Amino acid sequence: MSFPLTSPDGTRASRFAFGTMQFGGTADEAASAAMFDACLEAGITHFDTAHIYTDGASETYLGKFARPHRDRLIIATKAAYTGGAGRDNILQSADLSRKRMDIDCIDVMYLHRFDPDTPLEQTFDALATLRDRGHIRFVGVSNFAAWQTVKAAQIAAGFDLQIALMQPMYNLVKRQAEVEILPMTADMGILCAPYSPLGGGLLTGKYARGLTGRLTEDDRYAARYAADRMHHASASLSAIADDEGTDPATLAVAWVAAHAARPAPIISARSVEQLRPSLDALDFTMSQDLYARLCAISPAPPPATDRTEEQ
């Protein structure tokens, strides 16, 4: 059972979260507002941003849009992608994020990535200070390995803090989270909120149609999803979606949500039109047969043991 993530007025977190990484970047203010409204209409209550996104525009837009609905929404941001996870950087990041969003308290403060050069005791001392000041409610970790998360949870407990959420990468062609992260979050009661359920747009099938997106615009994403097997899997997903009479993006997001650990995928887009198939996954019923068929289009990662004969 995952940690009960709630908004200030007690509203439970929605089954999916919406990631605002495109706000103020590929999505201007009007497009961002339209996506925010579409999410509210679909029942999304959990919104995710980061200190580093679009030079602060993402936080600024999210705060502006969320203001009339503040108490029933869960607002998550991240600190320390740059500058390390030391005390001063975390406190300054939180202060600036609260100022940008014009909110007194951030619901979830994530550590954006693991910092091997800063003792976690210093990091969680800073997060405890923010909690004691009433500036954050929950703590999460992003891009941490399973062992790093367990270590963080152990140290956090010394400050009367709990790791409530974790953000790994997870989609049909990036399945490493199945080995240790998803079992760990299920066992420890951590809500897993995976990002990139569409694989940078690869799993929508748009690149096969000659369209553009992160894989054509960002060298990191191009390298991350360069393997031929991933593009073959995307083609197979599109064929199955045709058979099912639905959109491949709907299937891709629904597949992530269907894992036994009950992850809450973070969906995102550049426009309402692009967002619709992901929102449709909220109401998609995934049969066991279809889940198995989708699993078969991409190899599962090997287990975290060499005693494979016992698996």
pLDDT of residue 301: 93
**What's the CA gap between 102 and 131, in Å, rounded?**
18
Tell me which H or E stretch contains 109: strand 106-111
Domains and CATH numbers, the chain: 1-167 (3.20.20.100)
Burial 94-128 (b: 16+ CB within 10 A, else e): beebbebbebebbbbbbbbbbbeebebebbbbbbb
Give the tens place of pLDDT for each residue, 246-292.
999 999 999 999 999 999 999 999 999 999 999 999 999 999 999 99
Q: What is the mean pLDDT of residues 304-310?
A: 80
DSSP string, 263-274: ---EE--SSHHH
DSSP string, 65-88: HHGGGGGG-EEEEEE-SSS-S-HH
Beta bridge partners of 110: 78, 140
Give the tens place of pLDDT for each residue, 44-67.
999 999 999 999 999 999 999 999
Q: What is the mean pLDDT of residues 17-24?
A: 98
What percentage of the chain has pLDDT greater than the value 90? 93
Average pLDDT in the chain: 96
| 199 and 231 Cβ atoms separated by less than 8 Å | no
pLDDT interval class at 229 (50, 70, 90): very high
Give the tens place of pLDDT for each residue, 168-207.
999 999 999 999 999 999 999 999 999 999 999 999 999 9
What predicted TM-score, i.e. pTM, was given to this entire model?
0.96
**What's the CA gap between 72 and 54, in Å, rounded?**
25
| 35 and 213 Cβ atoms separated by less than 8 Å | no
Q: Does pLDDT of 2 surpass 70? A: no
